[in-house]
Amino acid sequence: MGRLSLFASLALSLLLAVGSAEAQLRVGFYSKSCPHAESIITEEIDRAIRVAPSIGGPLLRLFFHDCFVRGCDASLLLNATSSSNPTEKDAPPNQFLRGFALIDRIKARLERACPSTVSCADILALIARDVVHADQGPFWQVPTGRRDGFVSIASEATQLLPAFSANISTLKSQFNDVGLSAKDLVLLSGGHTIGNAHCFTFTTRLYNFSGRGDNSDTDPSLERNYLAKLRAKCAQDGSDALKLVEMDPGSFTTFDNSYFKLVAKRRGLFQSDAALLDDADTRSHVIHLAESDNSVFFKEFAGAMVNMGNIAVLTGSQGEIRKNCARVN
Ligand SMILES: *[C@@H]1O[C@H](CO)[C@@H](O)[C@H](O)[C@H]1NC(C)=O
Ligand SMILES: *[C@@H]1O[C@H](CO)[C@@H](O)[C@H](O)[C@H]1NC(C)=O
Ligand SMILES: *[C@@H]1O[C@H](CO)[C@@H](O)[C@H](O)[C@H]1NC(C)=O
Protein backbone atom coordinates (compact mmCIF):
# COMPACT_ATOMS: atom_id res chain seq x y z
CA MET A 1 0.00 0.00 0.00
CA GLY A 2 1.52 3.34 -1.05
CA ARG A 3 1.76 6.31 1.28
CA LEU A 4 -0.97 8.17 -0.45
CA SER A 5 -3.58 5.42 -0.13
CA LEU A 6 -2.59 4.79 3.48
CA PHE A 7 -3.21 8.44 4.20
CA ALA A 8 -6.46 8.28 2.28
CA SER A 9 -7.74 5.30 4.25
CA LEU A 10 -6.71 6.93 7.53
CA ALA A 11 -8.60 10.06 6.56
CA LEU A 12 -11.60 7.95 5.60
CA SER A 13 -11.68 6.10 8.91
CA LEU A 14 -11.39 9.40 10.80
CA LEU A 15 -14.27 10.71 8.78
CA LEU A 16 -16.35 7.64 9.57
CA ALA A 17 -15.51 7.90 13.26
CA VAL A 18 -16.63 11.53 13.38
CA GLY A 19 -19.78 10.70 11.46
CA SER A 20 -20.79 7.88 13.77
CA ALA A 21 -20.10 9.94 16.90
CA GLU A 22 -22.60 12.52 15.64
CA ALA A 23 -25.45 10.20 14.83
CA GLN A 24 -25.61 6.60 13.71
CA LEU A 25 -28.17 7.27 11.02
CA ARG A 26 -27.66 6.15 7.46
CA VAL A 27 -29.43 6.31 4.17
CA GLY A 28 -31.15 3.01 3.40
CA PHE A 29 -31.23 1.73 6.99
CA TYR A 30 -34.29 -0.41 6.13
CA SER A 31 -33.08 -1.66 2.75
CA LYS A 32 -32.69 -5.22 4.08
CA SER A 33 -35.00 -5.29 7.10
CA CYS A 34 -37.98 -3.66 5.39
CA PRO A 35 -37.19 -3.06 1.71
CA HIS A 36 -40.55 -1.45 0.90
CA ALA A 37 -40.68 0.85 3.94
CA GLU A 38 -39.85 4.03 2.06
CA SER A 39 -42.04 3.25 -0.94
CA ILE A 40 -45.02 2.44 1.29
CA ILE A 41 -44.69 5.84 2.96
CA THR A 42 -44.25 7.65 -0.36
CA GLU A 43 -47.31 5.92 -1.78
CA GLU A 44 -49.48 6.83 1.21
CA ILE A 45 -48.32 10.46 1.17
CA ASP A 46 -48.87 10.82 -2.58
CA ARG A 47 -52.39 9.56 -2.10
CA ALA A 48 -53.12 11.76 0.91
CA ILE A 49 -51.92 14.87 -0.92
CA ARG A 50 -53.92 14.02 -4.05
CA VAL A 51 -57.05 13.79 -1.92
CA ALA A 52 -56.30 16.85 0.25
CA PRO A 53 -53.44 19.07 -0.99
CA SER A 54 -53.65 21.26 2.12
CA ILE A 55 -52.42 18.38 4.31
CA GLY A 56 -48.84 18.94 3.02
CA GLY A 57 -48.04 21.89 5.30
CA PRO A 58 -49.35 20.22 8.46
CA LEU A 59 -47.44 17.00 7.71
CA LEU A 60 -44.20 18.91 7.22
CA ARG A 61 -44.82 20.73 10.51
CA LEU A 62 -45.04 17.44 12.46
CA PHE A 63 -41.36 16.70 11.92
CA PHE A 64 -40.26 20.20 13.07
CA HIS A 65 -42.46 20.01 16.13
CA ASP A 66 -41.13 16.59 17.02
CA CYS A 67 -37.42 17.34 16.55
CA PHE A 68 -37.35 20.55 18.60
CA VAL A 69 -38.53 18.74 21.72
CA ARG A 70 -36.36 15.85 22.99
CA GLY A 71 -34.96 15.40 19.49
CA CYS A 72 -36.47 13.45 16.59
CA ASP A 73 -37.86 10.59 18.69
CA ALA A 74 -41.61 10.72 17.89
CA SER A 75 -42.33 12.08 21.39
CA LEU A 76 -44.83 14.33 19.60
CA LEU A 77 -47.00 11.35 18.69
CA LEU A 78 -47.57 9.91 22.17
CA ASN A 79 -51.08 10.17 23.61
CA ALA A 80 -51.48 11.14 27.23
CA THR A 81 -52.17 8.16 29.48
CA SER A 82 -53.84 10.35 32.12
CA SER A 83 -55.26 13.85 32.04
CA SER A 84 -52.83 14.93 34.74
CA ASN A 85 -49.86 14.17 32.48
CA PRO A 86 -50.53 15.95 29.20
CA THR A 87 -48.11 15.14 26.38
CA GLU A 88 -46.51 17.33 23.70
CA LYS A 89 -49.56 16.81 21.50
CA ASP A 90 -51.71 18.56 24.11
CA ALA A 91 -49.51 21.67 24.35
CA PRO A 92 -50.92 24.94 22.93
CA PRO A 93 -48.36 25.22 20.08
CA ASN A 94 -49.40 21.73 18.91
CA GLN A 95 -53.13 22.21 19.28
CA PHE A 96 -53.78 22.61 15.56
CA LEU A 97 -51.45 19.97 14.18
CA ARG A 98 -53.10 17.47 11.84
CA GLY A 99 -52.16 14.15 10.28
CA PHE A 100 -52.10 11.83 13.30
CA ALA A 101 -54.68 9.46 11.83
CA LEU A 102 -52.69 9.23 8.60
CA ILE A 103 -49.59 8.34 10.60
CA ASP A 104 -51.51 5.62 12.42
CA ARG A 105 -52.62 4.23 9.06
CA ILE A 106 -49.09 4.26 7.63
CA LYS A 107 -47.69 2.67 10.77
CA ALA A 108 -50.33 -0.09 10.67
CA ARG A 109 -49.39 -0.87 7.07
CA LEU A 110 -45.68 -0.96 7.95
CA GLU A 111 -46.39 -3.25 10.90
CA ARG A 112 -48.14 -5.68 8.55
CA ALA A 113 -45.22 -5.55 6.11
CA CYS A 114 -42.43 -5.75 8.72
CA PRO A 115 -43.49 -5.98 12.37
CA SER A 116 -41.60 -3.89 14.96
CA THR A 117 -39.04 -2.67 12.43
CA VAL A 118 -39.69 0.89 11.26
CA SER A 119 -39.67 3.57 13.95
CA CYS A 120 -42.29 6.27 14.24
CA ALA A 121 -39.45 8.82 14.37
CA ASP A 122 -38.27 7.67 10.93
CA ILE A 123 -41.82 7.72 9.59
CA LEU A 124 -41.99 11.44 10.48
CA ALA A 125 -38.62 12.09 8.82
CA LEU A 126 -39.61 10.29 5.62
CA ILE A 127 -43.02 11.95 5.48
CA ALA A 128 -41.39 15.39 5.76
CA ARG A 129 -39.29 14.58 2.69
CA ASP A 130 -42.19 13.13 0.72
CA VAL A 131 -44.63 16.01 1.23
CA VAL A 132 -42.17 18.47 -0.18
CA HIS A 133 -42.25 16.98 -3.65
CA ALA A 134 -45.10 14.58 -3.53
CA ASP A 135 -45.58 14.34 -7.28
CA GLN A 136 -42.02 14.70 -8.53
CA GLY A 137 -40.35 11.93 -6.60
CA PRO A 138 -38.03 12.24 -3.61
CA PHE A 139 -35.44 14.98 -3.90
CA TRP A 140 -33.15 14.15 -1.04
CA GLN A 141 -32.10 11.00 0.75
CA VAL A 142 -33.15 10.70 4.36
CA PRO A 143 -30.71 9.09 6.78
CA THR A 144 -32.74 6.67 8.93
CA GLY A 145 -32.23 4.40 11.93
CA ARG A 146 -33.88 6.60 14.58
CA ARG A 147 -35.63 4.91 17.48
CA ASP A 148 -38.67 6.04 19.44
CA GLY A 149 -38.56 7.71 22.86
CA PHE A 150 -40.55 6.90 25.98
CA VAL A 151 -41.25 10.38 27.32
CA SER A 152 -43.49 13.24 26.20
CA ILE A 153 -44.24 16.32 28.32
CA ALA A 154 -46.57 19.12 27.25
CA SER A 155 -44.70 21.93 29.02
CA GLU A 156 -41.49 21.13 27.15
CA ALA A 157 -43.22 21.73 23.82
CA THR A 158 -44.62 25.04 25.06
CA GLN A 159 -41.18 26.14 26.13
CA LEU A 160 -39.02 24.88 23.29
CA LEU A 161 -41.03 25.31 20.10
CA PRO A 162 -40.20 28.55 18.28
CA ALA A 163 -43.26 30.83 18.48
CA PHE A 164 -44.76 32.72 15.52
CA SER A 165 -44.28 35.90 17.58
CA ALA A 166 -40.61 35.26 18.43
CA ASN A 167 -37.92 37.87 17.76
CA ILE A 168 -34.64 37.11 16.03
CA SER A 169 -32.56 36.71 19.19
CA THR A 170 -34.99 34.17 20.65
CA LEU A 171 -35.19 32.30 17.34
CA LYS A 172 -31.41 32.13 16.97
CA SER A 173 -30.93 30.91 20.51
CA GLN A 174 -33.70 28.27 20.25
CA PHE A 175 -32.09 26.94 17.07
CA ASN A 176 -28.63 27.13 18.61
CA ASP A 177 -29.86 25.13 21.61
CA VAL A 178 -30.66 22.17 19.36
CA GLY A 179 -27.45 22.51 17.35
CA LEU A 180 -28.88 24.37 14.36
CA SER A 181 -27.33 27.48 12.80
CA ALA A 182 -28.79 30.84 11.79
CA LYS A 183 -28.64 29.58 8.21
CA ASP A 184 -30.71 26.53 9.16
CA LEU A 185 -33.20 28.92 10.79
CA VAL A 186 -33.61 30.81 7.51
CA LEU A 187 -33.88 27.65 5.41
CA LEU A 188 -36.31 25.85 7.69
CA SER A 189 -38.48 28.98 7.90
CA GLY A 190 -38.80 28.36 4.16
CA GLY A 191 -41.17 25.54 5.15
CA HIS A 192 -43.73 28.38 5.35
CA THR A 193 -43.82 28.24 1.55
CA ILE A 194 -46.58 25.64 1.97
CA GLY A 195 -49.63 25.70 4.17
CA ASN A 196 -52.07 28.00 5.93
CA ALA A 197 -52.13 29.88 9.19
CA HIS A 198 -54.97 30.89 11.50
CA CYS A 199 -55.72 34.60 11.81
CA PHE A 200 -55.00 34.60 15.54
CA THR A 201 -51.33 33.82 14.87
CA PHE A 202 -50.71 37.27 13.38
CA THR A 203 -53.66 39.60 14.18
CA THR A 204 -51.61 41.40 16.84
CA ARG A 205 -49.51 42.74 13.98
CA LEU A 206 -52.61 44.13 12.29
CA TYR A 207 -54.43 45.79 15.18
CA ASN A 208 -52.63 45.82 18.50
CA PHE A 209 -48.91 45.64 17.96
CA SER A 210 -47.79 47.73 20.91
CA GLY A 211 -50.84 47.04 23.11
CA ARG A 212 -52.58 50.41 22.50
CA GLY A 213 -55.16 48.70 20.29
CA ASP A 214 -56.16 51.85 18.37
CA ASN A 215 -56.57 51.81 14.61
CA SER A 216 -52.98 52.81 13.89
CA ASP A 217 -51.36 50.25 16.18
CA THR A 218 -49.88 48.12 13.39
CA ASP A 219 -46.52 46.41 13.01
CA PRO A 220 -44.29 48.89 11.16
CA SER A 221 -42.26 46.04 9.71
CA LEU A 222 -45.27 44.78 7.72
CA GLU A 223 -45.60 46.13 4.17
CA ARG A 224 -48.67 48.40 3.90
CA ASN A 225 -50.55 46.76 1.01
CA TYR A 226 -50.14 43.32 2.48
CA LEU A 227 -51.28 44.67 5.84
CA ALA A 228 -54.48 45.99 4.22
CA LYS A 229 -55.14 42.61 2.58
CA LEU A 230 -54.65 40.77 5.85
CA ARG A 231 -56.93 43.21 7.68
CA ALA A 232 -59.63 42.52 5.09
CA LYS A 233 -59.36 38.80 5.87
CA CYS A 234 -59.01 38.86 9.62
CA ALA A 235 -61.37 41.05 11.66
CA GLN A 236 -60.17 42.92 14.72
CA ASP A 237 -62.92 41.58 16.97
CA GLY A 238 -61.50 38.07 16.92
CA SER A 239 -64.45 36.55 15.05
CA ASP A 240 -61.99 35.26 12.42
CA ALA A 241 -59.48 33.82 14.89
CA LEU A 242 -59.67 30.35 13.37
CA LYS A 243 -60.01 31.44 9.76
CA LEU A 244 -57.19 30.14 7.55
CA VAL A 245 -54.97 32.39 5.46
CA GLU A 246 -52.36 31.21 2.96
CA MET A 247 -48.85 31.67 4.32
CA ASP A 248 -47.38 32.10 0.84
CA PRO A 249 -50.22 33.77 -1.10
CA GLY A 250 -50.66 32.47 -4.62
CA SER A 251 -48.37 29.46 -4.22
CA PHE A 252 -49.30 27.95 -0.88
CA THR A 253 -49.29 24.38 -2.17
CA THR A 254 -46.10 24.80 -4.21
CA PHE A 255 -42.74 24.24 -2.62
CA ASP A 256 -40.66 27.12 -4.01
CA ASN A 257 -38.52 30.11 -2.99
CA SER A 258 -41.40 32.59 -3.23
CA TYR A 259 -41.47 32.68 0.58
CA PHE A 260 -38.06 34.40 0.59
CA LYS A 261 -39.12 36.87 -2.10
CA LEU A 262 -42.09 37.83 0.06
CA VAL A 263 -40.10 38.08 3.29
CA ALA A 264 -37.51 40.27 1.52
CA LYS A 265 -40.38 42.58 0.50
CA ARG A 266 -41.62 42.72 4.12
CA ARG A 267 -44.54 40.46 3.29
CA GLY A 268 -43.74 37.69 5.74
CA LEU A 269 -46.88 36.63 7.60
CA PHE A 270 -45.53 36.02 11.10
CA GLN A 271 -43.40 38.21 13.31
CA SER A 272 -40.91 35.33 13.22
CA ASP A 273 -40.75 35.66 9.40
CA ALA A 274 -40.25 39.44 9.55
CA ALA A 275 -37.61 38.91 12.24
CA LEU A 276 -35.32 37.22 9.70
CA LEU A 277 -34.57 40.72 8.35
CA ASP A 278 -33.45 42.00 11.76
CA ASP A 279 -30.05 40.32 11.78
CA ALA A 280 -27.27 40.83 9.24
CA ASP A 281 -26.60 37.09 8.73
CA THR A 282 -30.18 35.92 8.44
CA ARG A 283 -31.14 38.92 6.30
CA SER A 284 -28.35 38.31 3.79
CA HIS A 285 -29.35 34.67 3.55
CA VAL A 286 -32.99 35.56 2.92
CA ILE A 287 -31.91 37.87 0.12
CA HIS A 288 -29.55 35.26 -1.33
CA LEU A 289 -32.38 32.71 -1.49
CA ALA A 290 -34.87 35.25 -2.86
CA GLU A 291 -32.47 36.13 -5.69
CA SER A 292 -31.33 32.60 -6.55
CA ASP A 293 -33.40 30.12 -8.45
CA ASN A 294 -35.44 27.42 -6.80
CA SER A 295 -32.73 24.79 -7.20
CA VAL A 296 -30.48 26.65 -4.74
CA PHE A 297 -33.24 26.71 -2.13
CA PHE A 298 -34.08 23.03 -2.73
CA LYS A 299 -30.49 21.93 -2.26
CA GLU A 300 -29.90 24.03 0.85
CA PHE A 301 -33.29 23.13 2.34
CA ALA A 302 -32.49 19.44 1.98
CA GLY A 303 -29.25 20.00 3.93
CA ALA A 304 -31.08 21.87 6.70
CA MET A 305 -33.69 19.10 6.94
CA VAL A 306 -30.96 16.48 7.33
CA ASN A 307 -29.36 18.66 10.05
CA MET A 308 -32.67 18.97 11.86
CA GLY A 309 -33.26 15.23 11.49
CA ASN A 310 -30.07 14.58 13.49
CA ILE A 311 -31.21 16.42 16.61
CA ALA A 312 -30.69 14.21 19.68
CA VAL A 313 -31.65 11.02 17.87
CA LEU A 314 -31.90 7.70 19.69
CA THR A 315 -30.05 4.92 17.85
CA GLY A 316 -28.74 1.39 18.34
CA SER A 317 -30.30 -0.08 21.47
CA GLN A 318 -31.64 3.25 22.81
CA GLY A 319 -35.40 3.78 22.92
CA GLU A 320 -37.63 1.26 21.16
CA ILE A 321 -39.55 0.61 17.96
CA ARG A 322 -43.13 1.40 18.89
CA LYS A 323 -45.85 -0.85 17.50
CA ASN A 324 -48.37 1.98 17.71
CA CYS A 325 -47.03 5.51 17.36
CA ALA A 326 -49.46 6.88 19.94
CA ARG A 327 -48.26 4.74 22.85
CA VAL A 328 -45.12 3.16 24.21
CA ASN A 329 -44.99 -0.64 23.87
C1 LIG B 1 -36.80 38.98 22.35
O2 LIG B 1 -37.81 38.29 23.04
C3 LIG B 1 -37.41 37.86 24.33
C4 LIG B 1 -38.51 36.96 24.88
O5 LIG B 1 -39.78 37.49 24.67
C6 LIG B 1 -37.13 39.08 25.20
O7 LIG B 1 -36.73 38.66 26.49
C8 LIG B 1 -36.00 39.88 24.55
O9 LIG B 1 -35.78 41.08 25.27
C10 LIG B 1 -36.36 40.23 23.10
N11 LIG B 1 -35.18 40.79 22.47
C12 LIG B 1 -35.21 41.90 21.75
C13 LIG B 1 -33.92 42.35 21.16
O14 LIG B 1 -36.24 42.53 21.57
C1 LIG C 1 -54.26 45.03 23.07
O2 LIG C 1 -53.27 44.30 23.76
C3 LIG C 1 -53.26 44.55 25.16
C4 LIG C 1 -52.10 43.78 25.80
O5 LIG C 1 -51.07 43.52 24.94
C6 LIG C 1 -54.55 44.10 25.76
O7 LIG C 1 -54.57 44.36 27.15
C8 LIG C 1 -55.71 44.83 25.07
O9 LIG C 1 -56.93 44.29 25.54
C10 LIG C 1 -55.64 44.66 23.57
N11 LIG C 1 -56.64 45.51 22.95
C12 LIG C 1 -57.48 45.06 22.03
C13 LIG C 1 -58.44 46.05 21.46
O14 LIG C 1 -57.49 43.91 21.66
C1 LIG D 1 -54.59 8.52 20.49
O2 LIG D 1 -55.52 9.60 20.51
C3 LIG D 1 -56.29 9.75 19.34
C4 LIG D 1 -57.25 10.91 19.51
O5 LIG D 1 -56.72 11.92 20.23
C6 LIG D 1 -57.08 8.50 19.04
O7 LIG D 1 -57.76 8.66 17.82
C8 LIG D 1 -56.14 7.32 18.96
O9 LIG D 1 -56.89 6.14 18.80
C10 LIG D 1 -55.30 7.22 20.22
N11 LIG D 1 -54.37 6.11 20.09
C12 LIG D 1 -54.08 5.28 21.08
C13 LIG D 1 -53.15 4.17 20.77
O14 LIG D 1 -54.52 5.41 22.19
Tens-place pLDDT, residues 140-162: 999 999 999 999 999 999 999 99
Percent of the chain with pLDDT over 90: 73
What is the structure's pLDDT at 23?
56
What is the structure's pLDDT at 254?
77
Give the integer Cα–Cα distance in Å for 123 and 115: 14
Which of 225, 216, 295, 234 has the alpha carbon at shortest distance from 262?
225
Q: How confident is the model at residue 214 (pLDDT cuts 50, 70, 90)?
A: confident
Helix, coil or strand: residue 45: helix
Say whether 198 is catalytic: no
Highest-confidence range of 55-59, 213-217, 308-312, by mean pLDDT? 308-312
Our mutation pick for probing the ligand 2 site, out of 200, 205, 208, 212, counting the most ligand atoms within 8 A of Cβ, is 208
Q: How confident is the model at residue 8 (pLDDT cuts 50, 70, 90)?
A: very low
Q: Is the pLDDT of residue 249 over 90?
A: no
Quote the DSSP letter at residue 296: H
The set of protein residues with a Cβ atom below 6 angstroms from ligand 3 is 79, 324, 326-327
Catalytic residue among 65, 133, 198, 285: 65
The set of protein residues with a Cβ atom below 6 angstroms from ligand 1 is 167, 169-170
What is the structure's pLDDT at 13?
40
Which residues on adjacent β-strands are paired with residue 245? 197
The better pLDDT of the pair 224, 22 is held by: 224
What is the structure's pLDDT at 304?
96
Which of 21, 285, 304, 275 has the alpha carbon at shortest distance from 173?
275
For 83-87, what is the mean pLDDT? 95
Burial of 7 (C-beta count, 10 Å sphere; 0-12/13-18/19+): exposed
For the stretch 256-291, pLDDT in tens is 899 999 999 999 899 999 999 999 999 999 999 999
Region of residue 8 (left: phi > 0; alpha: psi -120 to 50; beta: else): alpha
Using an 8 Å Cβ cutoff, are 65 and 98 in contact? no
Our mutation pick for probing the ligand 3 site, out of 104, 328, 329, counting the most ligand atoms within 8 A of Cβ, is 104
For the stretch 92-112, pLDDT in tens is 999 989 999 999 999 999 999
How far apart are the CA of 164 and the centre of ligand 2, in A?
Answer: 18
Give the integer Cα–Cα distance in Å for 94 and 235: 24
Q: Is the pLDDT of residue 10 over 60?
A: no
Q: How confident is the model at residue 53 (pLDDT cuts 50, 70, 90)?
A: confident
For 52-75, what is the mean pLDDT? 94
List Cβ neighbours of 272 (8 Å cut-off, separation of 6 or more): 162, 163, 164, 165, 166, 171, 189
Q: How confident is the model at residue 17 (pLDDT cuts 50, 70, 90)?
A: very low
Show the domains of the chain with their CATH numbers. Answer: 25-161 (1.10.520.10), 168-308 (1.10.420.10)
Q: Is the pLDDT of residue 135 over 70?
A: no
pTM: 0.89
Which of the ligands is closest to the CA of residue 102? 3
Which of the ligands is closest to the CA of residue 275? 1
Give the count of beta carbons closer than 10 Å to the beta carbon of residue 162. Answer: 20
